[in-house]
Structure 1
Amino acid sequence: MKIGFIGTGVMGSRMAKRLLDREFQVYIYNRTVEKAKPLLEQGALYAESISSLASRCDVICTCLSMPEDVNEVYTGPDGIIENARPGTVCIDLTSVGADTSKTIFGQANAKGISYLDSPVSGGPEGAENGTLTIMVGGEKDAFEKAKPILEVLGETIEYLGQPGSGSIAKLINQYLVAVHSLAASEAMVAGAAYGLDSEQLFNILKVSYGDSRILRRHMEQYVFDRNFEPGGAVKYVHKDVRLANQLLHEAGLERYTGQLAEQAFKKAAEKGLDDLDMSAVIQPLEEQARVVVKRNK
């Protein structure tokens, strides 16, 4: 089986490496060839174009940044749909809106190509260790064909049904990620503004009902040490919560907390923090309160 992998950034490179470790034959394409070098050294084969990769692979995985990237890679003249063989299974690991997933599914299906919207949760660590949660929408037969590959990449793999279902589940998750990130940041900044020891407050919160995985992640891995090297970047969470807010609106819900979270991540991006880890959403709040949440040396 020949597997194509398009998009070998922070997440994609780790997933492609796992496939190579399992001795799959993997063709890769990335806009920046330099980023693909470690995978080539491990035995991956480089495709000079998307069309070249699409025409020779049985399964194509895509892990891209934005919905527009997904549209270009799949539907452009040099894209997957125009160049893949009938029977090819496409696994899109990108977080996009359900409408994007449904549109691409329809265009792929018309060419005899299977498309699974399969966004992931778990960050770079999950991608590296194969412990990702993978949420899948699309045809059940295609899912069954893709399952052996998905099991290399993830630990929790859920088939959710019709096209777009995976994307909807991921956006709901990202809605909570964004809201929890803002709430945790506000709480810790408020504590610091009132003179509480940040580590002591955190230790109280994490054994109380105010605890959350996001609170622990942000404080322990990023904020206290003032290290904002990205796992999941501000710009991606901003994109995801914007799409999630649209989803809630279409469901007939008001978007109270989601709108606030979208505004907070937009502000962080406008302040030049868009490529930092999502936990950097705390920095504009610290600036407002004139405090810094950090470890006491």
Structure 2
Amino acid sequence: MSLRTATVALALVAGLVALAACERQADTIDDSKVLATVNGQPITETELEQYRQLRQAREPIADKAKEREVVLKEMIDRVLLAQKAEANGLDKDPEVQALLKRVRENILVQAMIRRNLKDNPITDDELKTRFDKEVRDTHKTEYQVRHILVKDEDEARDIIKQLKGKGSFENLAKKHSIDVQSGKNGGSLGWINQGMVVPEFFEGVSRLEKGAVSSEPVKSDFGWHVIKVENTRAAKIPTFEEFMGDRQARANFQRRLQDEHVEQMVKELRASAKITTSE
């Protein structure tokens, strides 16, 4: 799962493991095989697997036998460090306690996200409904585009003036564009469609006819664009079956809907909560 919230939680979970990788809750029963003991504290098969999954998200090891060896050694070292920290009273330090509180909070966030997604799985019908809506909302044309990106509006307007005077778009792009990658190719961005570029830029592109150059510069967060549409063609939109046949596309699409499920849960929690702030 690659939810933004989950990613943040995972990083903090790893921090907690670093402090107490194998410490058990009093009410937790773990009867899996004990792989090692560190000053009397056991490290079990279950704990190793949990830590391995966390570690793999940060630093995967292809060789499974090697991974197991590395993970167990790392867990032993972490337990030793955690025991040393407790022996020195660091677990009572206010700053450490505050960090542990935040980490515990994020572990619970991660658990709640998992529970929500388990209880409200993304169905094929939901995927189909969203796919059909996005197809309806998708711009049906692709554009072969060049652009010249500059820092200020006056410079963009001067370039447009030069183009009206028969200046070469490609040469002006090479000379003036701060988009170095496209600039060295005469401003060429190749074929683009909706979603590949920022909305302001695509809106500017979609207003132009084939062969036209923008008469007004287009502003985006990157600067000011002068745009030329060299060609157009119908966008190739896959069928739902074709789209679902692409495992990566399906996974990404499903994660987007999972994001929305989590966002909706948070929205409902906010609506029913009593929240006060000092700002």
TM-score range with shorter-chain normalisation?
under 0.3
Larger radius of gyration: 2
Larger relative contact order (C-alpha < 8 A, sep ≥ 6)? 2
The two structures have a TM-score, normalised by structure 2, of 0.24
